[in-house]
Amino acid sequence: MEFSFIKSAVKPSQFPPPDRPEIAFAGRSNVGKSSLINTLVNSPKLARTSSRPGRTRAINFFNVGKTLCLTDLPGYGYAEAPLKLRRNWKVLIETYLKERHNLKAVVVIIDIRRTLGQGDLELLRWLKTYEIDAIVVLTKADKVSKGKAKHHQDVTASQLMQEGFGQPISFSAKTGQGKQELCKAMHKVVGTDL
């Protein structure tokens, strides 16, 4: 399968034509969204990653062959971002979720060491409102012991259940853990293999 970068969009008029099913990747700033995409597509440099938060400020669109589009959304919850930027983010993301009719699901990425934050909950509630499927992933699983990972997964799973969402998938961009399971969940939504 061929993967390629299509474009970056900082406003809706720059979105590419919605001519194929799309899956978006969202989460807090620095949580590991871009790394997760790179792991999924086996291409360490497709999406830009950085140890500094707030790296991805636009919506980046990627082609998966000719049948699927992936989008890397800018991270939320970066407190140091100027207010204007945070406002822009909100408008950009909400417009994207509301108007992108080819959007089939959003992969909501959470650090396995944290519980659901305000930004995560706000996003999950938007997805409910707009009737978009959510796939929740707990990433950086390699950073905690198996026992801790299981504990965090249970806590987040019950938080998610209260909000009306399914089981989260544990994942690591470093070890590839959870990749198969995530591909399966994505396949279920779009019917296309990665």
Tell me which residues touch ligand GTP (CB under 6 A). Answer: 27, 29-35, 49-51, 53-56, 75, 139-140, 142-143, 172-174
Q: Which residue is nearest to ligand GTP (CB)?
A: 75
Scored b (16 or more CB within 10 A) or e, 104-124 reads: bbbbbbbbbeeebbebbeebb
- Kindly state the smallest distance separating residue 29's Cβ from ligand GTP, in Å: 4
- Kindly state the smallest distance separating residue 79's Cβ from ligand GTP, in Å: 13
Closest CA to 129 of 168, 164, 91: 164
95 touches 12 (CB < 8 A): yes
Residues in contact with Mg ion by the rule CB under 5 A: 33-34, 55-56
The number of residues in the chain equals: 194
Cβ neighbourhood burial of 130 (10 Å; 0-12, 13-18, 19+): middle
Residue 100 burial (CB count, 10 A): 19
**Coarse DSSP helix, strand, coil percentages of the chain, rounded to the nearest 5 percent:** 40, 25, 40
Please say which residue, 8 or 192, places its beta carbon nearer to Mg ion.
Answer: 8
Please say which residue, 173 or 185, places its beta carbon nearer to ligand GTP.
Answer: 173
- Kindly state the smallest distance separating residue 131's Cβ from ligand GTP, in Å: 25
- Kindly state the smallest distance separating residue 28's Cβ from ligand GTP, in Å: 7
Please say which residue, 30 or 156, places its beta carbon nearer to ligand GTP.
Answer: 30
194 makes contact, choosing from ligand GTP, Mg ion, none, with CB < 5 to 8 Å by partner type, with none
